[in-house]
Structure 1
């Protein structure tokens, strides 16, 4: 395929080459919004990668890699980063860490910045909003490993939890404890956020397998404020679950704040299981039952795989995602028997 140049973009957009250069370097002072949009669309249509990025990919290795997480506030993200750094350090490789905030534009900016810094490869917990860029980098045989989220098509090696099994473990344990009115809480559920979608699917499937009602009112999801509002509405309506499965640590925090505010006792009034562990959950009173992800194993494998790709950049057309097995850790939040 003929390499797309800045001049090709200029012709497509009906502007000068210097105007395209100004756009790429974020110099918009004398550029109309219409011109910016035309150039942006031309870049997308032609699949153009700015020269400074393309040039950086041809340079010799720098012994640096980039890690872009979707949300650094999750315990999962920090543990993954730590294990990646451990492996990288053993190979004398330095790590740049970036937080995309689940924002595709921010993710794109970080990818371009890291490429401009000539990193040798990337580990990304992808937002799913930059498919064209992922494809362009694949064509250039740039080493990338995806984690936690599955992008279609599966362009790169992808590592993530067996989320359906994780949800099944959590819900089954609540059912064994005698609960039948089981709710689900998650951060905002979006199609591209694989773990949340799959955990919700696993929750619904496990209830149905056990002939239990899937009450959509008990499916609470959104940002922190929305979660609090939905829980308040449920509580005031008198239709509150007797057990709740939270999809991640951030949604658990909102639940614990709510139970404290309304003097709801765990496990006497409400049994709780969550996905993702952290030291405070064991120290919390009562300690919280968790479905644990093997984060350090996952991070180690991702880093090892990326370093192999950097050394031998040979890619498959498409990959099968590798799933990791979750582990149930029983604690006090489910242990009290109901009379």
Structure 2
């Protein structure tokens, strides 16, 4: 096999006994203009030579790089893992490769990644924002690169983010908890000011809980000592009143579950519901009730807006997965 670093399009053409133009068509999305035997010869020659087309060069010539960029706030977050997986699969089905950039919730790193993606001639960018990189996003749009926001809004950008219907998610959670007989609720979230989705869910909880007559109790930090103290005090002061905790996202659900374990709180007797499904939620005690995001539908909508300029739905309903953590002793299972 030839050295792939030296293999050229001309060498592929020579080995396949065809023209440079035919090889170029094969690798530029026009292979349907070639006969099946010719396609087979080019494919075999390219494999033997270890040839790979220069997508960057093709993008510079205006043929399209077939590259998409995705910037996520924290690649370790279960939301990011599920979102990247769904977007990558949807992009692959459309013939695109995905470049994923992790910002570690650092706005400066986010700006650098966006500038780097512009240099790579990506054909579109999906952004799960950590900050407000308005200058970089406006620069991308000015160059004709479409941008779609995922989950989080950016105040300076006139574009609705594609993601979960946050208001509906909170409403469904409250419906379920109230239907299961819980009367006192604690809402737990991490730093709501850092993400628009967290702020929206917190505001909806406060508004709707007050209208339903629930005492409104919230905690906006996941700092372990504060969480343990708050949760312990909350459950002790409730006395005989059925109490439950609503977690704003997967990160909060993990922290609260750890606190439940440390305080030896019985799941179900003290209710627990998390927004976002996690693989381990079915394995803890009687199982943790969650509201699962439809990541495949969200990814398809993001790609449609990015590549097809379609006015697809922006917000999607979650799916309730009822488990034992919201089943009080002596009560029947909730309907799915």
Settle same-fold status: TM greater than 0.5: yes
1:328 aligns with 2:320: yes
Match of 1:229 in 2: 226
CA gap of 1:214–1:57, structure 2 versus 1, over 3 A, is farther
TM-superposed CA distance for 1:172, in Å, is 2.2
Is the contact between residue 63 and residue 119 of structure 1 (CA under 8 Å) also seen in structure 2? yes
Q: Is the 8 A contact 2:132 2:155 kept in 1?
A: no
Runs of 4+ in 1 over 6 A off after TM superposition: none
Offset of 1:294 from its aligned partner? Answer: 0.8
1:194-205 superposed matches below 5 A: 194-205=196-207
**Deviations 1:7-56, CA, capped at 9 Å, x for gaps:** xxxxxxxxxxxxxxxxxxxxxxxxxxxxxxxxxxxxxxxxxxxxxxxxx9
Give the TM-score, by structure 1 length.
0.72
Q: 1 CA distance for matches of 2:216 and 2:259?
A: 22
* Contact 2:70/2:101 (<8 A) preserved: yes
**How far, CA to CA, are the matches of 1:324 and 1:130 in structure 2?**
25
Stretches of structure 1 that go unaligned for 5 or more consecutive residues are 1-55
Q: Which of 75, 83, 86 is matched with 1:72 structurally?
A: 75
C-alpha distance in structure 2 between counterparts of 1:136 and 1:243, whole Å: 46
Rounded to whole Å, the distance in 2 between the matches of 1:202 and 1:155 is: 22
Aligned equivalent of 1:213: 215
Is residue 2:163 matched to residue 1:160? yes
For the residue of structure 1 that corresponds to 2:277, the secondary structure is coil
Task: Give, in angstroms, the shift of residue 234 of structure 1.
Answer: 4.7
TM-score by length of 2: 0.73
Give ranges in structure 2 of 5+ residues lacking alignment. 1-57, 332-336
Q: 1:183 to 1:233 in 2, by over 3 A?
A: closer
Q: 1:168, 1:297 → 2: CA distance?
A: 21
Cα deviation, residue 233, structure 1: 4.4
Report how many aligned residue pairs link the two structures.
Answer: 270
Contact 1:87 1:304 in 2 (8 A): no
CA distance in 2, matches of 1:255, 1:171: 18
Q: Give the C-alpha shift of residue 288 in structure 1.
A: 0.9
Change (3 A) 1:202 1:156: closer
Q: Which has the larger radius of gyration?
A: 2
* 2:237 paired residue number: 239
Aligned partners of 1:204, 1:320: CA distance in 2, in Å? Answer: 30
Of 129, 134, 140, 2:132 maps to 129
* CA RMSD across the alignment: 2.7
| Residue equivalent to 2:26 | none
Q: Relative to structure 1, is the Cα distance of residues 64 and 57 closer, same or farther in structure 2, using a 3 angstrom cutoff?
A: closer
Local SS of the residue matching 2:148: strand
Quote how far apart the aligned CAs of 1:287 are: 0.7
Cα distance in 2 for residues equivalent to 1:233 and 1:302: 38
DSSP-derived class of the 2:206 partner:
helix
Structure 2 counterparts to residues 256-295 of structure 1, below 5 A: 256-268=257-269, 270-295=270-295
**Any residues of structure 2 matched to 1:51-66 within 5 Å, and which?**
60=62, 61-66=64-69
**What's the CA shift for 1:59?**
5.3
Task: Give the distance between the partners of 1:95 and 1:144, measured in 2 at CA.
Answer: 14
Cα deviation digits, residues 254-311 of structure 1 (max 9, x gap):
111111112111012x1011100122112222211111111111012212332225xx
Shift of 1:120: 1.7
Distance 2:243 2:130 in 1: 34
Aligned equivalents of 2:296, 2:101: Cα separation in 1 = 19
